[in-house]
Structure 1
Amino acid sequence: MPATPGLRFEVDTHDLRRTRVVETSDADAALPEGAARLRIAHFALTSNNITYAAFGEAMKYWQFFPTSEPGWGCIPVWGFAEVVESRAPGVEVGERLYGYLPMASHLVVQPGRVNDAGFMDASVHRRELPAVYNQLLRCATDPLYHAQLEGAQAVLRPLFVTSFLIDDFLVENQAFGASQVLLSSASSKTAYGTAFCLAQRRGTTSALRVVGLTSPRNLGFTESLELYDQVVSYDALASLDPGVPTVYIDMAGDAPLRQRVHAHWDGQLVHSCSVGGTHWQQLGSAAGLAGPRPVLFFAPAQVKRRAAPPPDGWGQEGLQLRIAQAWAGFVKHATEGRSPALRLVQAHGAEALTAAYLRLLQGEADPRDGFVMSL
């Protein structure tokens, strides 16, 4: 049994700049029957986690890992953990797991639906939340897991799954009749993962032109990815042809930018898809927009549709096979070559975690950096 209590990183849900690290009982309290104690080895911290915080209340992200004090929240992250104590049948000490975790040193889970692939955390407070976030996968049987790529997997895998599902959503809906896809926050990992999936259809009749919007600071990086047909800075939006039928994939959540995009394309904007909130300080209402009303893209809903048994869906195995095939190409693109898109930045401790979080929150992180953190 650990001699010291666990640690957890929390943020003020009303002012995301305020943070603290608190002690928890997850590392040293008596373990209930049927529960398992996990030591969190490391987790990724990306702009996706800023989105979780920005939409924490609306999308119930704060409910996954409740805190002891109102007004403070624990941002969910994706990462790896090891079972250090177990009173749950079928869950063994020493197992390595991948899944949705708190920014913390330890977590106590209530394993349910245990099988060869892993188990669900059936803790009472998680039972009404989307199942895709409650599953912990056994690394020993996970077809996407490679020990030497653990850092890259922590950073890119959850984002790429969302990218894959956005691409699939566009295919399923025949891109709403568009010939062009516009992605904001184009230097973000979810955006360029989506661009990667779209780029796989270049040269085919279903190919779409892919345009990335990004800040002047990230223009060079985004162009270097060679995934977009065109990259422009936000201040050059007016240079784009307003007559091209366009789908807008909004990773930024920037309300003034959304107004400009809708006004510029107006009748030629055939669908507006809200995904992220990297520009969290500019979030705002969709009231008064020209063109279609923005529709929130919720990845678990697309997972549920595609994981349904045939003929309605692909089935769980079919979905995982398709993701694995796409993932293999993407992770190679992101981690190999003369100038890889991903540069892992690994650090331990409260001070390092706070610094990385604030860099992402303030939009100051280098887009190549993928933070892999631990407490």
Structure 2
Amino acid sequence: MPWNDNSGGGGGPWGSGGGNNNPNNPWGQRPNNNGGGGGRGPEGPDLDDVVRDLQRMFGGLFGGKGSDNDNAGGPGLFGLLLVALAALIVWLFIGQAVYFIQPGEKGVVMRFGAYDRTTDSGMNFKFPAPIETVIRNQFTEVRNVEIGRTDEESLMLTRDENIVDIDFTVQWRVDSRDPENGVRNFEFNVLDPAVAVKAVAESAMREIVGTTDLQPIITTGRTEVAASAKEIIQRTLDEYQAGVEILDVQLTYADPPAGDVVVAFRDVDSARQDRERFVLDARAYANQVVPEARGNAARMLEEAQGYRDSQIARAEGDAARFTQIYDEYVQAPEVTRRRMYLETMENVLRDSELIILDEQGGAVPYLPLDRLGNARNTQGGN
């Protein structure tokens, strides 16, 4: 074996022990303090001496015994303080006791995992971790949520039972109306604010569309629909204490759905237009006929009223004339009877072409009697 030393008292890879000199020892010979076994070998460090030196050095640093006869006092305490100070500096550095918040950010400081305070931008101080930790969040960043990428999100039913395809965008950020509570609510009350905003926005838009007819949504009522949706979204998120401020709601697309639904929608719209046209025609006919009928009814009532009044007046006049004739008849029956006969014959023969001549009166041969009757009728008409 190459490590064996047959000339020494004990073999081994590190040379023989005791006081024997071994030229094959790589560490050199250990000094012989007892004075036996020859002298020293070549100069070199001894492992046991190195260990004893380290023990004396650290023992003196921490106030222990550096040797059998030395006691360390003051230097050990000073070393302990130095080590403690170094450990404190390392802890402060690793624990980030000094931290910086960038402009536009807010820092949420948690002490042992519970909310403690909100810090503004700039240099701030806190207890090192794990006592206090800080969460940074963009406070002024405007974020967007787009709704309507799929049919499940975009197709909605209107109040007049039509389907509308709506795409809209919601712009939001961390609530700046109450910075401290807004950041706190944003961090701790909602697990995923973006998902919450999207869910609430879709629900609010369906509520608005469900109470609005199709025509305003796809034409002139988009602004009103967006404003109403924004109000409902903000009110709902405030009730959740989500720490979210809604900045704007924009309708990017609002039309009837494409494909077969469009054909059905057009049929429904055409039927609705026909219905409205029929209703308008009926109203126009009613507006024409009803006043005419009312006018005829009023005219007939007035004619009936006039006929009734005339008949009553005539009857009353006849009754009064009869009474007067009767009074005259009582006083002069023959004269009255003769007069009544003549007046009656005059009324009967007024329009007749018959000419009666007295037998004793004679007739003039050249008198045109037929023309006399016509002349009499003409004079009577005038």
Which TM class, normalised by the smaller chain length? under 0.3
Give the number of the structure whose alpha-carbon radius of gyration is greater.
2
Q: Which has the higher contact order (CA 8 A, sep 6+)?
A: 1
Of Structure 1 and Structure 2, the greater helix share is in 2
Q: TM-score w.r.t. structure 2 length?
A: 0.17
Of Structure 1 and Structure 2, the greater strand share is in 1
